[in-house]
């Protein structure tokens, strides 16, 4: 059973460019969350997708956008890259059960983005 | 809103010694509590979680944590550590509310556990 996969593993971009990161959730999961982990920091919640809609959003500017496809995979897009966007971007998947069960989020290995 | 404070940024310990990683949280609503581990160049792996019931939670790799509601703490412990436990450990919370989709996790800054031979 494949876990959460992310691509690419590493990426180098220059300021002002745009980037797209991809995530495939664990088999059977329908919810995808994205987190940004700056060097030496804990992950910070960007947004979450369920049923192809953004359901929750953290304190990130509109330059950060996303999409969820019918097969539950997801993309994170960042426009007009800044040096401060350099970080490890983590995708996490889970299964919505309809109840507040504290369901476990399973994390992928991340995409390390370096903005020069 | 929730916040998490991990009281130690780095904890050096000798192999086979006990260890405690401290975590305090703040929230105006009830929360679920989690500990994740991150090995070098990898994603996060769940060690254990507290949802309800017994305040002592046992997880993988011999770790356990105790929920203390009055002190709003969720400290992680292991009686005897191994070199392989060297990693970054993150405490996280999510609120107990009913919404569509999963609950967002709010993480602490992390504690780097270094095991010395």
pLDDT in tens, A62-104: 999 999 999 999 999 999 999 999 999 999 999 887 666 778 8
CA distance B14 to chain A (A): 23
Question: Torsions phi, psi of B8, nearest 5?
Answer: -125, 125
Which residue of B2, B59, B101, B112 to mutate against A (max A Cβ within 10 Å)?
Answer: B101
Q: What is the pLDDT of residues A15-74, one digit of tens each?
A: 999 999 999 999 999 999 999 999 989 999 999 999 899 988 999 999 999 999 999 999
A5-115: which CATH topology? Immunoglobulin-like (2.60.40)
Predicted local distance difference test score (pLDDT) of residue A101: 72
* Segment B93-103 mean pLDDT: 71
CA distance A52 to chain B (A): 11
Q: Which domains does chain B have, with CATH numbers?
A: 2-116 (2.60.40.10)
Q: Which residues contact A92 (CB under 8 A, 6 or more apart)?
A: A4, A32, A33, A34, A35, A105, A106, A107, A108, B44, B105
CA distance B90 to chain A (A): 7
Minimum-distance CB partner of B42 among A40, A104, A109? A109
At B103, the pLDDT band (50, 70, 90 cuts) reads confident
Chain B residues within 8 A of A4 when measuring between CB atoms: 43
Query: Is the CB of B46 inside 8 Å of chain A's CB atoms?
Result: yes
Query: Is the CB of A60 inside 8 Å of chain B's CB atoms?
Result: no
Q: DSSP letter string over A2-43? A: ---EEE-SEEEE-TT--EEEEEEPPTT--EEEEEEE-TTS--
């Amino acid at each position: 059973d494949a876990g959460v996969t992310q691509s690419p593993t590493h990426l180098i971009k220059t300021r002002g460019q745009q980037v797209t990161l991809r995530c495939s959730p664990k088999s059977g999961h329908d919810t995808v969350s994205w987190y940004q982990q700056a060097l030496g920091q804990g992950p910070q919640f960007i947004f979450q997708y369920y049923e192809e809609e953004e359901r929750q959003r953290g304190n990130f500017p509109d330059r950060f956008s996303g999409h969820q496809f019918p097969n539950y995979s997801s993309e994170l897009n960042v426009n007009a890259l800044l040096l401060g966007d350099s970080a490890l971007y983590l995708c996490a998947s889970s299964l919505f059960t309809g109840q507040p069960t504290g369901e476990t989020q399973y994390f992928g290995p991340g995409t390390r983005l370096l903005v020069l | 809103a929730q916040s998490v404070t991990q009281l130690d940024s780095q904890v050096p310990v000798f192999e086979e010694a006990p260890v405690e990683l401290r975590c305090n949280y703040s929230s105006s609503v009830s929360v679920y509590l989690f500990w994740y581990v991150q090995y070098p160049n990898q994603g996060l792996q769940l060690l254990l979680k507290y949802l309800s019931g017994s305040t002592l939670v046992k997880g993988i790799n011999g770790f356990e944590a105790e929920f203390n509601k009055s002190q709003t703490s969720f400290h992680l412990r292991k009686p005897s550590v191994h070199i392989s436990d060297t990693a970054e450990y993150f405490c996280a919370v999510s609120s107990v509310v009913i919404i569509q989709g999963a609950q967002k996790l709010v993480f602490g800054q992390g504690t780097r556990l270094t095991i010395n031979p």
